Amino acid sequence: MTTPAIHVGDLNVKVARPAQPSARPDVLLIHGLSGGAWQWEAYQQLFARRGYASHALDLRGHHGSRPVPDIGKVSMHDYVDDAMQVARRLDKPIVIGHSMGGLVAQKVAEAGLCRALVLVTPAPPRWIPIASWPLLRRQVRYMPALVRHRPLLMRRADADALIFNRTPRDAANLFFTRLVADSGRAGLEMSVGAVAVNESRVTAPVLVVVGLDDRFIVPRVARAVARKYRAELRTYRSFGHLIPTEPGWEGPADEIATWMDGVRLA
């Protein structure tokens, strides 16, 4: 079901297709800060079994995709440009974004480039504060990288506390090796609410998904994002921030696919 990575310009996109041809819309998957297309491997296989071709993008500067001279200086606008380039190629896909990728996905929807939007523990747009005590107390040590637009990579202890708190140790060991340095500039833009989204321009149906034990994008933030778009909200008690890779991931993934089926038939 999986094909090798394709290229949209110099962007890497990993593709999984159903075994039989399907009329269902394409799905575009956008990863979060320091992540990559690898986060979506299990979801892509499940979506393929449900009849969806999915395309997991590596944003610029991640895992060999669109090399940049200084990852620390990449802006959220740059990442949005990457996602829009792929969305245009796919002709209004269903867009699913995780964490930072959720904010990128909101901008894609604002531009009218998707037919439906799924936000998984999304970073919020302007006027929805992202700050929480678990995040702030660990974010202080990263302020020099944020303010000076330097490469940003979470320390292992902070990753364990904020994003791996629902991930088994062996899996966390593997996933941490896959994290890459990301943009201090983009991190700062998310932290201070520099990215605005006009909700009146988001006309696609929206689903927001959050783990109730998320310590990075706390549930309060996801609830506020859902209110902004008058979106359906799904909460999962046994999940943290890395819903696509945590034990039991099949449950949320299957419910997302069922929601997409309904959008397709609407």
Q: Per-residue pLDDT tens for 89-120?
A: 999 999 999 999 999 999 999 999 999 999 99
Q: What is the rounded distance in angstroms from the CA atom of residue 230 to the CA atom of residue 246?
A: 27
pLDDT in tens, 1-24: 445 689 999 999 999 999 999 999
Q: Would you give the distance in Å from CA 50 to the centre of its chain? A: 21
Contacts of residue 89, defined as CB under 8 A and 6 or more positions apart, other chains included, come to 8
Q: Which CATH class is domain 2-265?
A: alpha beta
- Domain positions in the chain: 2-265
pTM for the complete prediction?
A: 0.97
Q: What is the rounded distance in angstroms from the CA atom of residue 226 to the CA atom of residue 118?
A: 11
pLDDT at 5: 82
pLDDT at 265: 57
